[in-house]
Amino acid sequence: MQKKLTIQDIARLAGVSKATASRVLNGNPSVNGELRARVMRVVEEHDFVPNATAVSLAGGNTHLIGVLAPPLVWPALPEIIRGVAEYIEDSAYEIVLYSINFANAECNHSEVVKRILNLHLVSGLLAIFTDELLPQITRLAQDGLPIVLIDDQEEPGHIPWVGIDNRESARTAIRYLLELGHKRIAHIRGPQYYYWANERYRGYCQALQEAGIAPEPELLLQGGFEPLHGRQCAEQLFARERASWPSAIFVANDQMAYGVLEYVEQQGIRVPEDVTIVGFDDNLLSAYTRPPLTTVHQPFSEMGRRATELLLNMIDPQYLAGPKASQQVQASTEFLQLSERDQPVHLQLPTSMVIRASSTQASLSVKT
- For the CA atoms of 25, 31, 37, 38, the dihedral, rounded to the nearest 10 degrees, stands at -80
pLDDT band at 52 (very low <50, low <70, confident <90, very high): very low
Q: Is the pLDDT of residue 258 over 60?
A: yes
Mean pLDDT (whole number) for 90-110: 72
The pLDDT assigned to 23 comes to 76
114 versus 270: the higher-pLDDT residue is 270
Identify the DSSP state of 292. Answer: P
Rounded Cα distance between 190 and 187, Å, is: 10
Decide which of 335 and 134 is more confident: 134
Give pLDDT tens digits for 289-322. 999 999 999 999 999 999 999 999 888 776 654 5
**How does residue 362 score in pLDDT terms, banded at 50, 70 and 90?**
low
* CA count, 13 A, side-chain hemisphere, 19: 27
Question: Quick check: 97 pLDDT over 60?
Answer: yes
Q: Confidence band (pLDDT; 50, 70, 90) for 45?
A: confident
Model confidence at 36, in pLDDT bands (50, 70, 90)? confident
pLDDT tens sequence across 181-236: 999 999 999 999 888 999 999 999 999 999 999 999 999 999 998 999 999 999 99
The pLDDT value given to residue 129: 84
By DSSP bridging, strand 352-354 and strand 294-297 are antiparallel
What predicted TM-score, i.e. pTM, was given to this entire model? 0.77
3-state class (DSSP) for residue 58? helix
User: What does the pLDDT look like over 317-337, one tens digit per residue?
Assistant: 766 545 555 444 345 445 555
pLDDT score for 142: 79
What is residue 328's predicted lDDT score, i.e. its pLDDT?
45
pLDDT greater at residue 51 or residue 133: 133
DSSP structural state of residue 247: S
Rounded Cα gap, residues 261 and 120, in angstroms: 47
Average pLDDT over every residue of 57-63? 55
Q: Is the pLDDT of residue 356 over 90?
A: yes
Give mean pLDDT, residues 147-167.
83
- What lies within 8 Å, CB to CB, of 213 at 6+ separation is 178, 183
Q: DSSP of 202-229, one letter per residue?
A: HHHHHHHHHTT-PPPGGGEEE--SSHHH
What is the set of domains in the chain, with CATH numbers?
1-39 (1.10.260.40), 64-164+300-321+328-350 (3.40.50.2300), 166-298 (3.40.50.2300)
Strands of the sheet containing 220-222, edge to edge, are 220-222, 185-189, 248-251, 276-281, 294-297, 352-354
What is the pLDDT at residue 314? Answer: 87
Overall average pLDDT of the 340-362 stretch:
84
Instruction: Give the mean model confidence (pLDDT) for residues 1-17.
Output: 79
CB atoms within 10 A of CB 302: 17
